[in-house]
Structure 1
């Protein structure tokens, strides 16, 4: 039997009895199945998480980025505009696939929808500069090309810890090894946990990445809403002194940066700029802020000798960064429309 057209809204996740965020996606298998039928056209709607993340979606993302038959991609950041009663963090997208189309020659028509309006429409490639993710906002590509013209520029993701950097899960703060006071411990380490919990642990129990204990660091939550449809786009960073650790609630940046108290404070400020948070959003599609979602944020000189005057206010630092990377008024306005000042 020959199928000329395949149209559908496939199941998104396995019904494994768990929460949606932990369920395994299955829509990618329906996309592959549709292609295997060798139709002339395919039109499918699916979650947008495959753009930059998603459990087990790396191979599917690579396949989508190199599929020359994708003719159009409609992107909906706010999923409730398509499915009012569902909650698909990161939005949904609809693809039009044509066996007759070659996007290596003609590009892909990428349409961004918001509030029942088309806000951006562009003819472009699925892949940008050999990046391994799909850049959602077409307007962002020129900005990214100015900030990271080559892959040789150091970026923050190269200096960020993995999840659970010291081997402590989120519930560690409820165990008997987490102490409110340090005076009863022989070698206490300050420990930062969820819900703003701060306590102390015995140094001898830390056997995961103990080499990171004595460096200056900047902590920040693993989960944040940057790059999602939610309004809160803050990145609440704070400086971590030597002899401090954290649970899996936090990641930290500082590995191989040789930070001190001054440069750590400057790095913390940098991560709160609109500039840095915007670049973070380009590599992020859900609340999961893994190290790789910081891959578009260039490392700066955080010392007093820097070309950036870190003693200025965050808005002034943003203006310095815009000038450093040659962003024009339209690009600056786009960043400041997408990312609010820190609250």
Structure 2
């Protein structure tokens, strides 16, 4: 991340650096190493140079009291900035420039107005951390240090538990990015989850802001987060970026995946979402150029028949209910929506992706969709599934099912799939077809004019599935 910054920063004794989310202090430590070397000719005395760097150039806000101690130990070689063993001899307080101040959430209608934390879970006593991070719990971040920073860099906290049903987690990393921009630094470098590429879960505005920001010079994207953070599973991967004030132009995009690095220079806002891999861009351009209606037109919303995951058959009635635990009969009265689909042939797929949190398998491939099967007339399902289409005759439904199993379709879905959820929105790039005829990968490759390299790329990313309509993929 530091390598993205201009080399001349390391020999500038007036450059100031801020980590607004100190955890271990590693960013400030590595910056100190570069400044120590870069300022040798300007401040020859080693102790004077170190004192200058620590006192006048490096600043941090720790996210907890403990990480404050750890960060000071990392940077100053002492958890007490003005202690006996500190490498800096000019501090007059214990925290130095790496400070922690306990902040309380500001509650309104059960939520924090700054970060959205749930009051029930985070309104804690004085003995527990509040997780109300100082940097994002103010409308005036410029008052935190009352100085200008040349560089803001960090690895902010990613999410908070919302405390709602399903125990969803609310992203907060984007709040650190937005707050940092308010301070108007010359450069901003942060590492964050890549899920913002597709938006959702409160990230739609942030996605739009990012892809339309022509001051983002570089994005380095790890599709599998474990290649960046060994042993850490982060849905959708992670990325870090360089934002440079008063610059303009296309962005350099570097994707790291297994032993392959893809590099391109392109605008981030060519599509409504950010398409991460350069080879995928050329494929998507060809698909979109046909100006066909997206498949989202025929796909159901979540909970297609108004039945919850916990709903189970009761053995009565003429409808067959398919659940994650099996199937059985229910009466029509239990159905709350989707009546127009009940008497038709339907294509059903699991709402949950086959891939764990959108991660590829050990061979670097994804399957994307899990269970896909045909539902006969008078069969319905719970919200564990969505309906990919409802048809008057069985042959059209079969052709739709086989189409959904192609590597071509699942590749297009994968471009918008950064989490476990498979929803209608994930099919925004999948074009409608004439389902009076069957579709195969070969036929689709020919229709959209894909090159051998583009075909090879799709097949290197997506696992084959059995094309048989009778195959149960659960």
Partner of residue 416 from structure 2, selected from 261, 279, 283: 283
CA distance in 2, matches of 1:109, 1:18: 38
Number of aligned pairs? 314
Task: Give TM-score, length-normalised by structure 1.
Answer: 0.86
SS, match of residue 191 in structure 2: strand
Q: Does 1:323 align with 2:456?
A: no
Q: Note the C-alpha offset of 1:208.
A: 1.9
Q: Which position in structure 1 is the counterpart of 2:243? A: 97
CA distance in 1, matches of 2:368, 2:161: 33
Match of 2:308 in 1: 169
Residue 205 of structure 1: which of 300, 323, 334 is its match? Answer: 334
Change (3 A) 1:204 1:15: closer
3-state SS of paired residue (1:238): strand
User: Any gaps of 5 or more consecutive residues in structure 2?
Assistant: 1-146, 467-474
Which residue of structure 1 lines up, in the alignment, with residue 459 of structure 2?
336
Return the index of the structure with the highest Cα Rg: 2
- Structure 1 residues 202 and 18: CA distance shift in structure 2, 3 A: closer
Quote the Cα distance in structure 2 between the aligned partners of 1:241 and 1:340: 27
Q: What is the CA-CA distance between 1:140 and the residue it aligns to?
A: 0.6
Q: Distance in 1 between matches of 2:239 and 2:165?
A: 22
Q: Which region of structure 1 is more displaced relative to structure 2, 288-297 or 83-92?
A: 83-92
Cα RMSD (Å): 2.0
The separation in 1 between residues aligned to 2:278 and 2:272, in whole angstroms, is 16
* Corresponding residue number in structure 2 for 1:272: 405
What TM-score, normalized by structure 2, do the two folds share? 0.63
Partners of 1:161 and 1:291 within 8 A in 2? yes
Unaligned runs of 5+ in 1: 311-316
Larger relative contact order (CA 8 Å, sep ≥ 6): 1
Cα separation, partners in 2 of 1:339 and 1:239, compared to 1, 3 Å: same
Deviation of 1:245 after TM superposition, in Å, equals: 0.8
Aligned equivalent of 1:159: 298
Look up the match of 2:274.
134
State the secondary structure of the residue aligned to 2:240.
Answer: strand
Cα separation, 1, equivalents of 2:222 and 2:457: 18
Q: Spell out, residue by residue over 1:146-199, the C-alpha distance to the aligned partner (whole angstroms, 9 max, x if none).
A: 11215x4112111111111111111112xxxx13x4xxx3x411111114x111
Residue 114, structure 1, aligned to residue 277, structure 2: no
Name the SS for the 1:94 alignment partner: strand
Where does structure 1 differ by over 3 angstroms across 4 or more consecutive aligned residues?
15-21
Distance in 2 separating the partners of 1:67 and 1:119: 24
